């Protein structure tokens, strides 16, 4: 039975209070696979028939490999791309069931349309993999905000908020947020609440968005646990992976860059493996909780980011749109 609005409000208000209590998380003994494990190897033997999994940024790189492998294991994968044509082309190359949906994370009306299309499918969401992202080396803005913060964090925040009841409806819904070890290079003080436009901080803009990813996942995990749901949220760094995410910048990959098959392994494992079911509120790399900055463990900062993000997209949240209808 669909979750009611009162219970949804409880989940979200609990998440906003993430700094108030200690969040139960998994232990550090999760290293069940070698670092060079591929996504196919990490999901070997799993039958995902009957599961619905949403993967953002399915048109290339880690997102494309995540969609391919999860569909190969029997899941119905909803793959998003920046345009309908790109999403359709990516899904057409998948062996298994993959449904394309357009999603431009920088445009909140597109996030609403995407979530509405997914909701119309009528199924609980067993996992939502927030993979899509951009890297920029100069200051660009959208909605008056630094663009990487909007695309990498805020668009995903809105998408998760609009699909959260469907995630909670699943037997054990999971949110997997693609973060990065570069979160430690965010500007001094962490999230720049005083200037989210990016004008006054020259360095660490991408790292700033990745710190936001980690803090969002932490706040969400706390809210899900506090509300007594079975759903979980974890953040994962795929490592230094050779994809096309650096297409907008003038630097390339190191010689030791990982393949997308390796980069997608831990995200896939977190999304579907029974071994990963006990983890909530962790930051992963190579199938185990990983080192992270003090800022990314800061529950007060996570709670504040949740509230600020909510304010920034308030007009696009379900209750606000219901009132306008």
270-320, pLDDT tens digit by residue? 999 999 999 999 999 999 999 999 999 999 999 999 999 999 999 999 875
Predicted confidence at residue 241, as pLDDT, reads 76
Residue 181 near residue 265, CB atoms below 8 Å: no
Predicted confidence at residue 20, as pLDDT, reads 38
Query: Taking all residues of the chain, what is their mean pLDDT, rounded to a whole number?
Result: 89
Place of tokens 């992270």: 292
The band of 160, judged by pLDDT with boundaries at 50, 70 and 90, is very high
pLDDT over 80 at 260, yes or no: yes
Predicted confidence at residue 89, as pLDDT, reads 97
Neighbouring CB atoms inside 10 A of 290's CB total: 18
pTM: predicted TM-score of the whole model, two decimal places: 0.91
pLDDT over 60 at 6, yes or no: no
DSSP assignment, residue 162? H
Percent of the chain with pLDDT strictly greater than 90: 80
Q: Which domains does the chain have, with CATH numbers?
A: 50-314 (3.40.50.720)
Residue 267 near residue 178, CB atoms below 8 Å: yes
The band of 239, judged by pLDDT with boundaries at 50, 70 and 90, is confident
pLDDT over 80 at 244, yes or no: no
| Rounded average pLDDT over 221-234 | 97
Percent of the chain with pLDDT strictly greater than 70: 85
Q: Is 180 helix (H, G, I), strand (E, B) or coil?
A: coil
Predicted confidence at residue 29, as pLDDT, reads 46
The band of 9, judged by pLDDT with boundaries at 50, 70 and 90, is very low
CA angle (162 as vertex; 90, 264 as ends), nearest 5: 40
Convert the pLDDT of each residue in 19-46 to its tens digit: 534 454 445 445 579 989 999 999 999 9
CA angle (134 as vertex; 80, 262 as ends), nearest 5: 75
pLDDT over 90 at 117, yes or no: yes
| Calpha distance 9→227 (Å, rounded) | 10
| Rounded average pLDDT over 179-184 | 95
Predicted confidence at residue 256, as pLDDT, reads 76
| Rounded average pLDDT over 125-129 | 98
Range 249-253, long-range pairs (CB < 8 A, 24+ positions): 249/135, 249/136, 249/137, 250/137, 251/137
| Rounded average pLDDT over 165-184 | 97
Convert the pLDDT of each residue in 84-115 to its tens digit: 999 999 999 999 999 999 999 999 999 999 99
| Calpha distance 279→27 (Å, rounded) | 8
- Extract the tokens encoding 195: 């200037």
Break the chain down into helix, strand, coil percent, rounded to 5: 45, 15, 40
Residue 315 near residue 143, CB atoms below 8 Å: no
């Amino acid at each position: 039975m669909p979750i009611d609005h009162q219970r949804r409000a409880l989940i979200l208000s609990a998440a906003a209070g993430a700094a108030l209590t200690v969040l139960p998380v998994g232990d550090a003994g999760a290293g069940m696979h070698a670092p060079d494990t591929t996504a196919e190897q990490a999901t070997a033997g799993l039958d995902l028939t009957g599961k619905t999994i949403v993967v953002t940024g399915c048109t290339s790189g880690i997102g494309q490999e995540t969609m391919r492998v999860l569909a190969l294991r029997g899941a119905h994968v909803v793959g998003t791309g920046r345009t309908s044509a790109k999403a359709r082309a990516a899904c057409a190359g998948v062996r298994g069931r993959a449904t394309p949906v357009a999603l431009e994370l920088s445009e909140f009306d597109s996030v609403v349309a995407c979530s509405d299309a997914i909701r119309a499918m009528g199924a609980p969401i067993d996992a939502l993999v927030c993979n899509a992202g951009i890297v920029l080396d100069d200051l660009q803005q959208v909605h008056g905000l630094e663009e990487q913060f909007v695309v990498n964090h805020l668009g995903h925040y809105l998408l998760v908020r609009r699909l959260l009841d469907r995630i909670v409806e699943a037997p054990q819904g999971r949110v997997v947020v693609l973060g990065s070890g570069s979160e430690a290079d965010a500007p001094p003080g962490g999230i720049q609440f005083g200037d989210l436009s990016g004008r006054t901080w020259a360095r660490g803009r991408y790292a700033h968005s990745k710190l936001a990813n980690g803090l969002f996942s932490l706040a969400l995990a706390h809210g899900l646990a506090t509300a007594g749901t079975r759903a979980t949220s974890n953040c994962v760094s795929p490592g230094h992976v050779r994809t096309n995410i650096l297409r907008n910048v003038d630097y390339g990959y190191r010689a030791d860059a990982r393949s997308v098959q390796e980069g997608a392994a831990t995200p896939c494992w977190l999304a579907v493996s029974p071994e990963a079911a006990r983890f909530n509120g962790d930051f992963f790399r190579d199938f185990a909780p990983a080192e992270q900055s003090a800022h990314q463990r800061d529950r007060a900062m996570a709670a504040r980011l949740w509230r600020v993000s909510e304010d920034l997209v308030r007009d696009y949240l379900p209750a606000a749109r219901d009132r306008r209808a």
